[in-house]
Structure 1
Amino acid sequence: MTDEPTHGVGPWQGEWPTDERYDPELLANGDTRNVVDEYRYWTMDAIVADLDSKRHGFHVAIENWQHDMNIGSIVRSANAFLAEAVHIVGRRRWNRRGAMVTDRYQHVIHHPDVASFRAWMDERGIPIIAVDNVGEAQPVNKAELPERCVFLFGQEGPGLTDEALEAASSHIEITQYGSTRSMNASAAGAVVMYEWCRRWA
């Protein structure tokens, strides 16, 4: 029997580092968090500060999803692709389990309605790009994706509200090849974020 963790790393071996980014408790007991090796044994604040120094120029927004596990999943993807922030438009409460603790490292901002969300973006000159497979949407692989922008997703089924679509300066969709009309919203978010990173990261 061993005391080594089944994932992560055990207690620090040898002389401890003196860098203040390291957490003495993690050095002593090991680090089993789901973080890349670069951040092993670092404090949460140190990790967030380092991420903030190199975040990408895109934001992600979610409009009032019914299946709020999707919000957690998209927060996790936003962390993986180093989004500037995630914005939740509408209901404040969401199930954080799907985020797998990544919401501790990802800025999450709440807006009570589309109007306040749009005002926040307008003040900062950030164009809103609606992601929904209806109307005159352009395929994401062919559409213009600015270096600074926010991708706005709706709830599964009904998609984005008319108010949200009107707030957007452009409208994109993901080309699909099977029989289903739509894909899981959090999966769609990961596809769009990856496409942005392919061009800009």
Structure 2
Amino acid sequence: MDRGEAHTVVGPTEWGTTVGVGPWEGPWPTDERYDPELLEHGDRRNVVDHYRYWRREAIVADLDRRRHDFHVAIENFQHDHNIGTVVRTANAFAARAVHIVGRRRWNRRGAMVTDRYQHIHHHPELPSLREYAAEHDLALVAVDNTPGAVPIERTALPRRCVLLFGQEGPGLREDSREGADLVVSIAQFGSTRSINAGVAAGIVMHTWVQQHADLDAAW
């Protein structure tokens, strides 16, 4: 495979009959970002074509130059199964970091290995997250469809912020909402009381991207 050709093809190669690419064809590149094992055996990882054959550390370093100014936090006091989906979506939108509040352990299956490329922090309780936000000059934006929340569709999100999501079912705890700088809701029109936490996280992250990201830098 020609390296120049691989760089011109955009989008994840998981869309197709075969995931990834086979062994490198032709002389190997000398750039230290490339992994000799991947060059020899092929690259079947869930990464965009730009990062094919790259070492994991090289991918993380390059992503660090692309990451946005928002963080994502999700409560995990009952071992929420949506966290993997949130991490995968945070990776797709290049969140600066993901914060797990509550239990340290979470189901990584839904992350589809994207957690290997994402900075993840653990906070045993909410005060720890608040301290982190204050130390890094980040507004805390809670997401919950509760009285007093402002519609995200009509709200300007802070550029530097932590988007805080609750668990599937109970939603955000009361102290999480009360300690937030801003509480936003997602417009709904059906009979259900709430939408899936992973879906809600994707909607809010994409709203931030629409408002603040350089869309010309997207893959």
TM over 0.5: same fold? yes
Q: Which amino acid aligns with 1:94?
A: W
Contact 1:66/1:156 (<8 A) preserved: no
Residues 1:155 and 2:193 are matched in the alignment: no
RMSD: 1.1
Displacement after TM superposition at 1:197 (Å)? 0.3
Alignment of 1:133-152 (within 5 A): 133-152=145-164
Contact 2:69/2:160 (<8 A) preserved: yes
Match of 1:38 in 2: 50
Instruction: Give the match's secondary structure for 2:71.
Output: strand
Q: Which amino acid aligns with 2:153?
A: N
Match of 1:113 in 2: 125
Alignment of 1:1-20 (within 5 A): 6-20=18-32
Q: Distance in 1 between matches of 2:89 and 2:79?
A: 17
Q: Distance in 1 between matches of 2:79 and 2:204?
A: 20
Match of 2:8 in 1: none
Residues 132-154 of structure 1: CA deviation (Å, up to 9, x unaligned)? 00011111111120111010001
Q: Could you tell which deviates more after superposition, 160-169 or 26-35?
A: 160-169
Residues 86-127 of structure 1: CA deviation (Å, up to 9, x unaligned)? 001111110111101000000110001011111111111101
Match of 2:181 in 1: 169
Residues 22-55 of structure 1: CA deviation (Å, up to 9, x unaligned)? 0000000000001000000000000000000110
Residues 63-85 of structure 1: CA deviation (Å, up to 9, x unaligned)? 12535320000000000000000
Q: Distance in 1 between matches of 2:98 and 2:179?
A: 17
- Cα separation, partners in 2 of 1:65 and 1:144, compared to 1, 3 Å: farther
Q: Distance in 2 between matches of 1:132 and 1:65?
A: 17
Q: Which amino acid aligns with 1:33?
A: R
Match of 2:207 in 1: 195
Q: Which amino acid aligns with 1:157?
A: G
Identity of aligned residues (%): 63
Contact 2:85/2:110 (<8 A) preserved: yes
Match of 1:50 in 2: 62
Q: Distance in 1 between matches of 2:78 and 2:43?
A: 35
Contact 1:65/1:156 (<8 A) preserved: no
Match of 1:186 in 2: 198
Match of 2:6 in 1: none
Residues 1:76 and 2:88 are matched in the alignment: yes
Match of 2:217 in 1: none
Q: Distance in 2 between matches of 1:133 and 1:65?
A: 19
Q: Distance in 1 between matches of 2:81 and 2:109?
A: 7
TM-score by length of 1: 0.95
Instruction: Give the match's secondary structure for 1:69.
Output: coil
Q: Which amino acid aligns with 2:157?
A: L
Q: Distance in 2 between matches of 1:141 and 1:15?
A: 52
Q: Which amino acid aligns with 2:85?
A: S
In the TM superposition, structure 1's runs of 4+ consecutive aligned residues that sit over 6 Å from their partners are none
**Residue among 110, 117, 132 paired with 1:98:** 110
TM-score by length of 2: 0.88
